[in-house]
Amino acid sequence: MSDLQGKVAVVTGGAAGIGRAAALRLAAAGAHVVVADRAEAAGREVMAEIGKAGGQAIFQRVDVSREEDCAAMVETALRTFGGLDIAFNNAGISGRIARTEDQGLENWQAVIGVNLTGVFHCMVHELRAMKAGGGVIVNTASVAGLKGAPYSAAYSASKHGVIGLTRSAAREYGKYGIRINAICPGYIRTAMADEIAAGSAPGSSGALVAASALRRPAEAEEVAELVLWLSSEKASFVTGAHYVVDGGLTT
Ligand SMILES: NC(=O)c1ccc[n+]([C@@H]2O[C@H](COP(=O)([O-])OP(=O)(O)OC[C@H]3O[C@@H](n4cnc5c(N)ncnc54)[C@H](O)[C@@H]3O)[C@@H](O)[C@H]2O)c1
């Protein structure tokens, strides 16, 4: 236990994949964690896992596309743990794998609603809570936020948006002692990645592995280490940045 002793963190999408790994890692570093997800059973399991390891966590059922849920998440952090220091806005969905003309408006709105508007909703309430005492926000974008992702136009647009939102807010809130950064994972072994790999030839797992320098997907824990670093004082001069964690996929 070190680094984040006594800090309070919220993690959206904390029930699975990258969010779960980050919730466990932040808690192991001493943070009190609000595990926020729309998946209740899995989220409660992560909460229990943190408790078993000697950490402190609470589960909050949240659909990030609903502003009132994001407000309630922040409220839970304040009420239960007495503040908010760290927010990892990570919940996301991949959406339909299809040509742009076949993406469909409903799919477009769902993907933007969770991946981009969801981050916006969370940030609005987190920034209000952090303004007095400072804090750190880490948003999950993607390598698809840096380059085009064929057959995933809505997803790629949402992730480009997350980077724009991150950079703009970072410029506004630095003076309040709030650092805001994004992470851009490549191919990380999670349920979402399996779903994308199963659905599309161009984005298939074999092609992604072959195109990356390290020739393998990452485990979610490898991304959690970056989230921990960005959340800690070790990254005290880092804001408005996006960090690629992709095994050399985009180099
Ligand atoms: N896995 C990858 O290869 C990869 C690569 C780049 C970026 N990402 C991004 O990382 C983030 C996490 O993805 P993952 O791979 O861990 O996926 P995952 O599917 O394993 O986990 C996502 C979690 O988010 C939750 N979630 C989804 N929609 C939600 C909503 N509306 N409200 C609250 N919770 C919601 C799910 O219930 C799930 O627990 C996403 O933003 C994703 O776009 C993943």
**pLDDT in the model for residue 200:** 62
Q: Is residue 61 part of a domain?
A: yes
Q: Is residue 162 part of a domain?
A: yes
Q: Is residue 170 part of a domain?
A: yes
Rounded CA-CA distance 180/198 in Å is 33
Closest atom of ligand 1 to 223 CA is 10
Residue to substitute in 10, 11, 18, 109 for testing ligand 1 pocket (most ligand atoms within 8 angstroms of CB): 18
Q: Is residue 71 part of a domain?
A: yes
Instruction: Pick the closest to residue 226 from 22, 87, 67 (CA basis).
Output: 22
Residue whose CA is at the smallest distance from ligand 1 atom 43? 92
Buried b (16+ CB within 10 A) or exposed e, 64-91: bbeeebbbbbbebbeeebeebbbbbbbb
- Taking the centre of ligand 1 as the mean of its atom positions, its distance from the CA of residue 132, in whole angstroms, is 30
**pLDDT in the model for residue 194:** 82
CA-atom Rg of the chain in angstroms: 17
**pLDDT in the model for residue 39:** 98
**pLDDT in the model for residue 206:** 87
What letter would DSSP give residue 188? B
**pLDDT in the model for residue 1:** 43
Rounded CA-CA distance 41/25 in Å is 20
Closest atom of ligand 1 to 43 CA is 39
Q: Is residue 99 part of a domain?
A: yes
- Taking the centre of ligand 1 as the mean of its atom positions, its distance from the CA of residue 247, in whole angstroms, is 19
Q: What is the mean pLDDT of each run of 10 residues along the chain (251 residues)?
A: 87 98 98 98 98 98 98 98 98 97 98 99 99 98 97 98 99 98 97 77 77 96 98 98 98 94
**Residue 144: its H or E element:** none
Structure tokens at 138: 């880490």
**pLDDT in the model for residue 203:** 56
Write out residues with Cβ below 6 Å of ligand 1: 12-13, 15-19, 37-39, 62-65, 90-93, 114, 118, 140, 142, 185, 187-188, 190-193
Q: How many domains, in total, are found in the chain?
A: 1
Q: Where are the beta strands (DSSP E) in 110-192?
A: 135-140, 178-185
What CATH number did the domain enclosing 139 receive? 3.40.50.720
Point out the catalytic residue in the list 151, 155, 173, 243: 155
Task: Determine the structural domain holding residue 12 and report its residue range.
Answer: 8-186+219-233
Helices (H), ranges, 15-95:
17-28, 40-52, 67-81
Q: Is residue 3 part of a domain?
A: no
155 belongs to the catalytic site: yes
Q: Is residue 212 part of a domain?
A: no
Q: Is residue 157 part of a domain?
A: yes
**β pairing state of 56-61 and 86-89:** unpaired
**pLDDT in the model for residue 199:** 65
Closest atom of ligand 1 to 39 CA is 37
**pLDDT in the model for residue 90:** 98
**pLDDT in the model for residue 33:** 98
